[in-house]
Amino acid sequence: MSIIKFFTSKIFFKQILLAVVALVVLCFALLKWLNVTTNHGNFETVPDLKGKSINVAQLELEENKLVMKIQDSANYNPNYPKFSVIEQEPLAGTKVKKSRKIYITLNPSGYRKVNIPEGLIDKTFRQVKPTLEALGFKIGKKTYVDNIGKDMVLKLKHKGKTIQPGAKLAKTSVIDLVLGNGKRP
């Protein structure tokens, strides 16, 4: 039997037809299996967790068959309670599949601590002020004492206590400055 006769025979066409039918049945079965295993069309709505404590957020997510993952604590936000949710991904109202991970960012207990840099003493107020403000500190009251260096920073104080370079203070702390008044002692 030659190859041309084989390609034009009934057996060849029956085999091709059988292969096409098997492929269609296999594709149909695969699509049905995917619909069942991926819960196609079944969604859960992500609740709004902003401002809620971690325990309340956990309960709400469990009620909606979702999983909570804590990403990190962000910079302290005084508009939210301590250890409450300040961000979430995906956003509230989004439709997701059950058991989806909801990533949350918590509000820390306070502002992070920042080191007081070296080299602020014996510099002018004009040099020290932007350095401290860039680090997130606030400049409090300025006290002048007799010193030949006018507006030269002699001491840094926080709540009445002298601060040494390298000490850690919470961001947004108020730092009082002792400055020279330009008069000889």
- Residue-wise pLDDT tens digits, 134-177: 998 999 999 999 988 888 999 999 999 999 888 888 888 899 99
- The whole-number pLDDT of residue 140 equals 93
Mean pLDDT of the chain: 88
- The whole-number pLDDT of residue 113 equals 85
Nearest to 167 by CA among 126, 125, 135: 135
> With bands split at pLDDT 50, 70 and 90, how would you rate the model's confidence at 18?
very high
> With bands split at pLDDT 50, 70 and 90, how would you rate the model's confidence at 10?
confident
- The whole-number pLDDT of residue 29 equals 95
In the predicted model, is pLDDT for residue 1 greater than 70?
A: no
> Do 106 and 85 form a contact (C-beta atoms < 8 A)?
yes
pLDDT tens digit sequence for 39-81: 777 888 899 998 898 899 999 999 988 999 988 776 788 888 8
- Report how far residue 63's alpha carbon sits from residue 74's, in angstroms, rounded to the nearest whole number: 26
In the predicted model, is pLDDT for residue 17 greater than 90?
A: yes
- Main-chain phi, psi angles of 179, to 5 degrees: -120, 155
pLDDT tens digit sequence for 100-114: 899 998 888 778 888
Strands (E), 17-130: 44-45, 67-73, 85-89, 95-96, 101-106, 113-115
Is it true that the peptide bond before 90 is cis, omega within 30 degrees of 0?
yes
Nearest to 84 by CA among 108, 62, 63: 108
